[in-house]
């Protein structure tokens, strides 16, 4: 697979790391306007670093765009005449609709809109995807690419903003929960490094339990909560203080913000 990542910034480089981690490409082009900070990637023999988007597009089949929303239309205009039947266009751009991409590239192009998260760099992204009509022919290819770097789910385009909140911003939300747990563990006497180790591996274990068993979280909670025990005591206190409510409200506030962005653009 010949992949180009157009816009090797935070997310683009996370994807590049995920692709390298999973041996997911025969060649990979990484583009950026100023390439100094990413030249090191050329130490991987199959990686080409360049500021020339046109060269990257010509030499690649799968084009993953990870630039800021304000730059995307102009870049599509620049490359559109180079697109052929071999190309699959995958956008990771927040709030940029498929119809907007089609209006620049044409409806006949294979277009996939995706929302990965930065855990793609370690092969653990939750990635939501959707496509235009033509792109349906390449949706399995897109899923295969993202499944090598985590888990993917096809969703209707209307849910893409909500998926951004849950999956992309979600990394930040979960980080805060892990940090808060770490702070609690330090207060109980662990040193900072151990406290984080306990917090993050417990978090990993909890998610893995659900992924592997298919169980509802409450089924797993029931197994841990001894009647009159310490777990239910802690859990109820967290709920009295608004744990679930605060998470839900934060998610809704984040969605309101992203919806505002959509209206403005
Ligand atoms: N950071 C995240 O967790 C997520 C970000 N996104 C989306 O991904 C996109 C990129 O976000 P970030 O990586 O955070 O931004 P960023 O600013 O770190 O990266 C964008 C990169 O594009 C490069 N660039 C600008 N113009 C270019 C051009 N003409 N040709 C080639 N490269 C060019 C910039 O030099 C920069 O390195 C955004 O649209 C964002 O909405 C989506 C999901 C998650
Ligand atoms: O915070 C943001 O607005 C962007 C979208 C998803 C991740 N970062």
Question: Mutate which of 14, 38, 57, 66 to test ligand 1's pocket (most atoms within 8 Å of Cβ)?
Answer: 66
- Domains assigned to the chain: 2-155 (3.40.50.720), 164-264 (1.10.3730.10)
Please give the pLDDT value at position 86: 95
- Nearest atom of ligand 2 to the alpha carbon of 115: 6
Phi then psi dihedrals of residue 123, to 5 deg: 70, 25
pTM: 0.94
Q: 254 CA distance to ligand 2 centroid (A)?
A: 9
CB of 56 shorter than 6 A to ligand 1: no
Task: Map tokens 């991409």 to a residue.
Answer: 101
Q: 168 CA distance to ligand 2 centroid (A)?
A: 7
Residue 216 CA to its chain's centroid (Å): 24
Please give the pLDDT value at position 25: 84
pLDDT in tens, 225-255: 999 999 999 999 999 999 999 999 999 999 9
- CA–CA dist 163, 94 (Å, integer): 10
pLDDT in tens, 37-94: 999 999 998 999 999 999 999 999 999 999 999 999 999 999 999 999 999 999 999 9
pLDDT in tens, 126-153: 999 999 999 999 999 999 999 999 999 9
pLDDT in tens, 87-97: 999 999 999 99
pLDDT beyond 70 at 170:
yes
Average pLDDT, the chain: 96
Nearest CA, atom 4, ligand 2: 169
CB of 164 shorter than 6 A to ligand 2: yes
Q: What angle do CA 167, 127, 264 make, to 5 degrees?
A: 60
Q: What is the ipTM of this complex?
A: 0.95
- Report which DSSP code applies to 168: I
Tokens of residue 77, six digits: 């205009």
Q: 169 CA distance to ligand 2 centroid (A)?
A: 6
pLDDT in tens, 23-36: 888 899 999 999 99
Question: Mutate which of 5, 6, 8, 10 to test ligand 1's pocket (most atoms within 8 Å of Cβ)?
Answer: 10
Instruction: Mark out the alpha helices in 64-169 (DSSP H runs).
Output: 69-79, 98-105, 139-147, 160-163
Tokens of residue 94, six digits: 């927040």
CB of 75 shorter than 6 A to ligand 2: no
- CA–CA dist 66, 120 (Å, integer): 13
Helix (H, G, I), strand (E, B) or coil at 190: coil
CB of 92 shorter than 6 A to ligand 2: no
Helix (H, G, I), strand (E, B) or coil at 113: strand
pLDDT in tens, 189-216: 999 999 999 999 999 999 999 999 999 9
- Nearest atom of ligand 1 to the alpha carbon of 13: 13
């Amino acid at each position: 697979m010949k992949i180009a990542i157009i816009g090797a910034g935070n997310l683009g480089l996370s994807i590049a790391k995920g692709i390298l981690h999973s041996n997911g490409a025969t060649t990979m082009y990484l583009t950026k306007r100023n390439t100094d900070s990413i030249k090191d990637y050329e130490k991987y023999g199959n990686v080409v670093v360049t500021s020339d988007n046109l060269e990257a597009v010509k030499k690649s089949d799968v084009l993953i765009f990870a630039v800021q929303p304000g730059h995307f239309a102009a870049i599509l205009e620049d490359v559109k005449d180079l697109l052929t039947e071999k190309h699959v266009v995958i956008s990771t751009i927040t709030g940029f609709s498929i119809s907007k991409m089609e209006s620049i590239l044409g409806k006949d192009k294979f277009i996939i809109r995706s929302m990965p998260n930065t855990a793609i760099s370690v092969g653990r992204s939750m990635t939501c995807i959707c496509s235009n009509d033509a792109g349906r022919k390449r949706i399995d290819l897109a899923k295969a690419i993202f499944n090598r770097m985590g888990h993917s789910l096809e969703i209707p385009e209307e849910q893409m903003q909500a998926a951004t909140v849950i999956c992309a911003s979600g990394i930040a939300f979960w980080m805060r929960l892990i940090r808060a747990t770490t702070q609690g563990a330090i207060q109980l006497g662990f040193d900072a490094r151990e406290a984080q180790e306990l917090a993050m591996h417990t978090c990993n274990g909890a998610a893995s339990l659900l992924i592997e068993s298919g169980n509802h979280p409450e089924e797993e909670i029931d197994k841990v909560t001894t009647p009159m025990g310490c777990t239910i005591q802690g859990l109820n206190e967290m709920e009295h203080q608004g744990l679930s409510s605060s998470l839900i409200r934060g998610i809704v506030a984040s969605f309101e913000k992203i919806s505002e962005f959509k209206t403005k653009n």
